[in-house]
Amino acid sequence: MLKINNLYKHFGSLVAVNNLSMSVNKGETVVIMGPSGCGKSTAIRAINRLIEPDGGSIFLDGTDVTLLSEEELRGVRKRIGFVFQQFNLIGRLTAVENVMLGLVMDGLKREEAYEKSLAALQKVGLDQVVDHRPSQLSGGQQQRVGIARALAYEPDLMLWDEPTASLDPMLVREVLVVMEELARVRETTMLVVTHEIAFALHVADRIVLMDKGSIVESGAPHRVFVNPVSDVGRRYKELIE
């Protein structure tokens, strides 16, 4: 589904991502972990070219997205759901209107956009609050609206960049539960940047550990966390013990 070859990105003299190669198969959940500043966001944002890579290739279903025009990229971006740390909901719109907005802008009829949005909100357990505005929702519910907004496009691939990082600890679980269901029950193809070790351990098919712009190790969660071969892996192991 996704194959990244020798991805490279620098900001001035700082090399943010250095020769990163990895892949995600259809239906798989791959979790990227690593210390803050190691290049996780840069790498994941390069996939739909929110960040322009300086080198390497990124194949999505066989198409190299690094070679696409802006026009072609718009089509590819609809197939990739992206959930960020910030929810970026529009305050004056209701939950369902927030989910509908992109679909309507893309030319979908209002009724069709509404139906798709309701279905997406149902998947994240928010069918009771579709007419609430963000200010009437908890942070966890707001992030679930953010997830529904991505799901409404029925994406082939979901990218997550620290989706629980700005939530109160009490609200993290409800978002992780939704993510776990998407991964396990719905077999969504997901690439997740997170610091949630328990989620990584129990839900990921594979863990990729990064340090200073590069992958330092990858493998099955239990192998990586029980028998790490990198310093970063050994630090995670200590956290679990």
Q: Which residues bind ligand ADP (CB under 6 A)?
A: 11, 14, 16, 36-42
Q: Which does 228 bind (CB under 5 to 8 A by kind): Mg ion, ligand ADP, none?
A: none
Q: Which residues contact 235 (CB under 8 A, 6 or more apart)?
A: none
Comparison of 16 and 96: residue with beta carbon closer to ligand ADP: 16
Q: Report the first-to-last Cα separation within the chain, whole angstroms.
A: 34
CB 104 to ligand ADP: min, Å: 31
Interaction between residue 48 and Mg ion (CB under 5 A): no
Comparison of 38 and 215: residue with beta carbon closer to ligand ADP: 38
Within 10 Å of residue 6's Cβ, how many Cβ atoms? 13
Q: Can you tell me the distance from the alpha carbon of 172 to that of 162, in angstroms, rounded to the nearest whole number?
A: 11
Q: Which does 22 bind (CB under 5 to 8 A by kind): ligand ADP, Mg ion, none?
A: none
Q: Which does 25 bind (CB under 5 to 8 A by kind): ligand ADP, Mg ion, none?
A: none
Residues 22, 32, 39, 41: which binds Mg ion (CB under 5 A)? 41
Q: Can you tell me the distance from the alpha carbon of 121 to that of 29, in angstroms, rounded to the nearest whole number?
A: 22
CB 159 to ligand ADP: min, Å: 13
Q: Which does 37 bind (CB under 5 to 8 A by kind): Mg ion, ligand ADP, none?
A: ligand ADP
CB 117 to Mg ion: min, Å: 28
CB 90 to Mg ion: min, Å: 24
Comparison of 39 and 155: residue with beta carbon closer to ligand ADP: 39
Q: How many chain residues interact with Mg ion (CB under 5 A)?
A: 1
Footprint of Mg ion (CB under 5 A): 41
